[in-house]
C-alpha cells in the first residue's frame, strides 16, 4: 500500500510527502529533479527519472507495491509556456498520458492530480466555483485543462478514478522550517516580495493600482502549502473510500490584495519592501478567489492557516535559505 508521488521533490510535492509520511503512509517519490531537489524529499525513497518512462514507472509500481498516485510532476512557468509551448505539451500532457497508461498497466487506478485555478482564465464571477466555464488563457493552463480531460477519459475507458485539485496560489513553507520553496524557479508574488525585501532583487513592480478593489491592487487567494498538502491526503482517502472522479477548487475563499501581501511582509519581517507602481498587465484578472463549498463538502477540507502564517513561514524559510536548498 504505497503512494507514488511524482514531483515529490518539488515545492508542493515535498510538503505532501512529508504529511503522508507523518500519518504513517508508505511513499515513493519519482522525480526528474528538473526543478526539484533531492534534499526536499528528506529520507523518503526517491527514484530519479521521468514520468514518461513506462518501463521505470512499471518497475517502481512493482517494487514498491504502489496502489495510488499523487501527480505533481509538470513544468509550471506560464511565461515560458508561451515561448516554448512544445516543452509544455510534451511534459505536461503527453508525459501525463504516458504516466497514467503505465500506471494502469501496473493495476493502479487511484490518482490525484495537480490542476490549477488558471483553467478558468479570467473568471466572470467571484468567488469562482467549479461550475465556472473552463477558459484557459495560456499554454500552461491549457495543459492542465487537457490533462483533466485525459484523466476523465481514462475513467471511461479503463476505470481510473481521479481527483483534480485546482489550486489557487500556493505559498508559505513548512511550519517547522524544514522545507520550503526554491525561489530560483518562482515568479510568484510572495517570493518576489521577499527577495526584494531582502535586497536580493529589484523593487517589486505592482502591476495595476487602479483596479476596482478596496486598495486598487489585484486580489488573489493565497493558500498555505501545508493546507494544500492536506487536501491531497484527504483526496487519497476519498478515492480509497470509492469516491468518483471529480475536480475541486482548493483555495481559502479569502481574497488578499498585492498591498495586503506587501504590508504583511513589512509588519512580520520588520522591513520596508521597495516597490514601484506599474500599469496593469494584459491578461491579469482583477480578482480571483475560490468558492470552497464543494471541496469542503466532498473532502471535509478546511484551511487552517491565514495570510499572516503564510508570510511568517515564508519569511523564516527564505531568510534562512536565501539560496534555496543550496544553503
Ligand X SMILES: NC(=O)c1ccc[n+]([C@@H]2O[C@H](COP(=O)([O-])OP(=O)(O)OC[C@H]3O[C@@H](n4cnc5c(N)ncnc54)[C@H](O)[C@@H]3O)[C@@H](O)[C@H]2O)c1
Q: Are the beta carbons of 217 and 258 closer than 8 angstroms?
A: yes
C-alpha 95/C-alpha 173 separation (Å) is 28
User: How many CB atoms are closer than 10 A to CB 43?
Assistant: 6
For ligand X, what does the binding mask look like between residues 184 and 223, x meaning CB under 6 A? -x--------------------------------------
Measured in residues, the chain has a length of 327
Residue 252 as a binder of ligand X (CB under 6 A): the answer is no
Distances 231 to 45, 112, 227, 228 between C-alpha atoms, Å: 22, 10, 7, 5
Nearer to ligand X, 67 or 114 (CB): 114
Cell of 93: 500532457
DSSP β-bridge partners for residue 114: 165
Q: What is the closest distance, in whole angstroms, from the C-beta atom of residue 207 to ligand X in the complex?
A: 18
Nearer to ligand X, 75 or 109 (CB): 75
Nearer to ligand X, 32 or 252 (CB): 32
Q: Residue 11 catalytic?
A: no
154, 167, 238, 315: which one binds ligand X (CB under 6 A): 167
Q: What is the closest distance, in whole angstroms, from the C-beta atom of residue 203 to ligand X in the complex?
A: 23
Number of residues that bind ligand X (CB under 6 A): 29
C-alpha 167/C-alpha 138 separation (Å) is 16
Residue 6 as a binder of ligand X (CB under 6 A): the answer is yes
Q: Are the beta carbons of 68 and 110 closer than 8 angstroms?
A: yes
For ligand X, what does the binding mask look like between residues 67 and 106, x meaning CB under 6 A? -----xxx-x--------------x---x-----------
Choose one: 5-13, 16-24, 61-69, 214-222; the region binding ligand X (CB under 6 A): 5-13
Q: What is the closest distance, in whole angstroms, from the C-beta atom of residue 77 to ligand X in the complex?
A: 9
Backbone angles phi, psi at 119, to 5 degrees: -60, -20
C-alpha 174/C-alpha 237 separation (Å) is 22
Residue 9 as a binder of ligand X (CB under 6 A): the answer is yes
Q: How many helices (H) and strands (E) does the chain have?
A: 11, 13
4, 18, 20, 36: which one binds ligand X (CB under 6 A): 36
* CA nearest neighbour of 48 among 36, 66, 64: 36
Residue 33 as a binder of ligand X (CB under 6 A): the answer is yes
Residue 54 as a binder of ligand X (CB under 6 A): the answer is no
Nearer to ligand X, 228 or 239 (CB): 228
Q: At what angle do helices 95-105 and 139-158 cross, to 10 degrees?
A: 20
Residue 12 as a binder of ligand X (CB under 6 A): the answer is yes
Sequence-distant (6+) residues with CB within 8 A of 191 are: 181, 183, 314, 318
Which one from 11, 88, 140, 167 is the annotated catalytic residue? Answer: 140
Q: At what angle do helices 54-64 and 95-105 cross, to 10 degrees?
A: 40
Q: What is the closest distance, in whole angstroms, from the C-beta atom of residue 10 to ligand X in the complex?
A: 2
Active-site residues, by number, are 140
Residues near ligand X, by CB under 6 A: 6-7, 9-13, 30-36, 50-52, 72-74, 76, 91, 95, 114, 116, 167, 169-170, 185
Amino acid at each position: 500500500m504505497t503512494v507514488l508521488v511524482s514531483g515529490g521533490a518539488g515545492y508542493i510535492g515535498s510538503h505532501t510527502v512529508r504529511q503522508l509520511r507523518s500519518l504513517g503512509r508508505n511513499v515513493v517519490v519519482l522525480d526528474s529533479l528538473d526543478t526539484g531537489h533531492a534534499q526536499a524529499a528528506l529520507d523518503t525513497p526517491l527514484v530519479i527519472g521521468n514520468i514518461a518512462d513506462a518501463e521505470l514507472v512499471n518497475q517502481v509500481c512493482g517494487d514498491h507495491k504502489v496502489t495510488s498516485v499523487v501527480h505533481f510532476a509538470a513544468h509550471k512557468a506560464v511565461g515560458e509556456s508561451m515561448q516554448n509551448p512544445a516543452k509544455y505539451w510534451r511534459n505536461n500532457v503527453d508525459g501525463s498520458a504516458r504516466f497514467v497508461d503505465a500506471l494502469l498497466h501496473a493495476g493502479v487506478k487511484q490518482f490525484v492530480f495537480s490542476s490549477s485555478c488558471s483553467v478558468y482564465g479570467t473568471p466572470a464571477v467571484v468567488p469562482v466555483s467549479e461550475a465556472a466555464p473552463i477558459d484557459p488563457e495560456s499554454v500552461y493552463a491549457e495543459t492542465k485543462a487537457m490533462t483533466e480531460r485525459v484523466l476523465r477519459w481514462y475513467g471511461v475507458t479503463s476505470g481510473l478514478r481521479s481527483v483534480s485539485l485546482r489550486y489557487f496560489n500556493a505559498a508559505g513553507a513548512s511550519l517547522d522550517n524544514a522545507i520550503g520553496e526554491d525561489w530560483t524557479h518562482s515568479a510568484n508574488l510572495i517570493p518576489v516580495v521577499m527577495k526584494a525585501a531582502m535586497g536580493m532583487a529589484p523593487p517589486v513592480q505592482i502591476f495595476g493600482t487602479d483596479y476596482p478593489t478596496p486598495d486598487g491592487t489585484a486580489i488573489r487567494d493565497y493558500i498555505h502549502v501545508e493546507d494544500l498538502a492536506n487536501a491531497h491526503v484527504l483526496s487519497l482517502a476519498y478515492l480509497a473510500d470509492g469516491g468518483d472522479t471529480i475536480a475541486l477548487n482548493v483555495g481559502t475563499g479569502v481574497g488578499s490584495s498585492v498591498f495586503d501581501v506587501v504590508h504583511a511582509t513589512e509588519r512580520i519581517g520588520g522591513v520596508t519592501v521597495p516597490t514601484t507602481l506599474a500599469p496593469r498587465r494584459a491578461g491579469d484578472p482583477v480578482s480571483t478567489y475560490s468558492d470552497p463549498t464543494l471541496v469542503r463538502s466532498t473532502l471535509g477540507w478546511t484551511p487552517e492557516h491565514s495570510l499572516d502564517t503564510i508570510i511568517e513561514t515564508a519569511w523564516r524559510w527564505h531568510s534562512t535559505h536565501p539560496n534555496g536548498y543550496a544553503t
